[in-house]
Every structure is written in structure tokens, then in C-alpha cells.
Amino acid sequence: MSTFFALLFWFATAVIVLGLAFKIRQYWVTPAPLKIPTTPAPTTQAGVVYRMAKEVIVFESLFKSNKWIWIFGWMFHMSLFLVLARHLRYFQDQPWFWVNIIQPFGKYAAFTMVIGLVGLFVRRIVVARVRYISAPSDYLMLIMLFFIGFSGLIMNYVSHVDIIAVKEFFNAWMGFSIGDFPVSVPLIVHLSLVALLLIVFPFSKLLHAPGVFFSPTRNQVDNPREKRHIAKWAAELENNSKG
């Protein structure tokens, strides 16, 4: 069991790291040949950073768009963020001080995370328009995250796991050795699903996380008259048609 989980996590980690690196590189090197920010758009780079921060932190466009999705979606993501920050303690000998500060909030965040997920799931089934656009994978994604959260809560409130042992296992794992895995059903469920999450991440719609930063309608400065914007392939096209 210990070997299995150590190997699974090495594999999953490799997949997400390499997968994301590949995708981010791909986004990075693919040009956006035309200026297409959705206007009104900021006219300076600083303005773009501010616009992007609002999108990522408060989901500004979504807020304009649909309050229900916003409430559930934002609740889920902010909770996810707190939960993950709280999880840093499994990987650190001496957690950073802010990781300690958010420990108590993180605990409640598990509830809001699960509520947010349930809200999104219900919406997906109940609203005919959203049901129409949903593929099986869209439901499965929510179910997977729900069970990660749910198994986490079980460990927290019902069937406690030995946190110290988990920590030791992962500390060993990070040093590329195999420690003793504290076998318990909720932890097995939790970690199997987490591994699955890491593996599907770079191949699924979870690419929205890096994607949002590369979206030309959100990350471009509105200055086409002041500054000529030209992609490499477009410049080559120009040269060829001249010569």
C-alpha cells in the first residue's frame, strides 16, 4: 500500500507538472496576432494587472453575468484555496506562520467548498440550458471534487487519521523514499481521488486556471493606435507579399 501510493503520487505529480508546463509553454508561444481585448479595456499594463486580479480574485465578469453561479462558484474556489493552503502543513516540517493562522478557517472552508460544489451540481441538473451543455465529464468533475471534500470531512469529524503519520509519509515521499502509509479507508479514497485530479488536470477543462491568464480578451492592453502590434507569422506574411 505504501509503495502503491508513493508511486501513484510520483506519477500524478509528474503528469500535472509536465502537463501544465507543456500547456503553459504552448499558450506562451502561440501568438495573438490581433488586438482583441473586450472593451472598455485598460490602456496600461498596470490596468491589465488590475483587471486580471479582479477576474481571478472576485470573478468580476461572472458576477456581472449570473449571481447564482457566482455565489456557488466563488464559494467553492475561495474555500478550495483555503483548504489547499491549510494542506501545506502536510508537506512542511515547520509550516509558514500564515499556514498556521488559516488552520481554523480552513476547517470551515471544507464545508463551504462542499456546499458550493453541491450548488453547482444542482444547478447543472436543474437549469435546462446548463444541462444541455453538460457532458458526462462535467458531472464527474464535480462528483470527484465532492468526494475529495467529503472524505476530507470524514477524516476531520468522523474517523480521524493520524496526521503526524501522513506528514511523515509525505515528507519521506518528497525525499524520494517510501515511508509508512497510515492505512484508513477515507484516506485511501481521499488520496486516490486527489491523484486522479492531478492526472486529469492538464487534459481537462481545469486548464481554465492557467487559461484565464492567457485569454487575449482579458490580458491585452487597449493601445492599438499608439503601438503597432504584429505577430511573427503575420510579419512573415507581410515580407513574403512584398518580395
Q: How far is CA 12 from the centre of its chain?
A: 15
224 near other proteins (CB under 8 A): yes
For residues 11 and 18, is the Cβ–Cβ distance under 8 A? no
* Residue that is written with C-alpha cell 469529524 in the block: 157
Binding test (CB under 6 A) with ligand HEM, winner from 149, 179, 220, 221: 149
215 near ligand HEM (CB under 6 A): no
45 near other proteins (CB under 8 A): no
Q: What gap in Å lies between CA 220 and CA 227, rounded to an integer?
A: 12
Helical (H) or strand (E) element with 77: helix 67-87
119 near ligand HEM (CB under 6 A): no
For residues 92 and 85, is the Cβ–Cβ distance under 8 A? no
Q: Closest distance between other proteins and the C-beta of residue 26, in Å?
A: 7
194 binds, among other proteins, ligand HEM, none (CB under 5 to 8 A by kind): ligand HEM
**DSSP-assigned letters across all residues of 114-140:** HHHHHHHHHHHHHSHHHHHH--HHHHH
86 near ligand HEM (CB under 6 A): yes
Q: What gap in Å lies between CA 191 and CA 84, rounded to an integer?
A: 14
To the nearest 10 degrees (0 to 180), the angle between helices 185-200 and 136-157 is 150
For residues 83 and 109, is the Cβ–Cβ distance under 8 A? yes
Pattern 164-203, binding to other proteins, x per CB under 8 A?
Answer: ------------------------------------x--x
168 near ligand HEM (CB under 6 A): no
Residue ranges that bind other proteins, judged by CB under 8 A: 23, 26-27, 30-36, 38-43, 55, 59, 61-62, 64-66, 69, 73, 123-124, 127-130, 132-138, 140, 200, 203-205, 207-208, 211-212, 214-218, 222, 224-225, 227-231, 233-234, 237
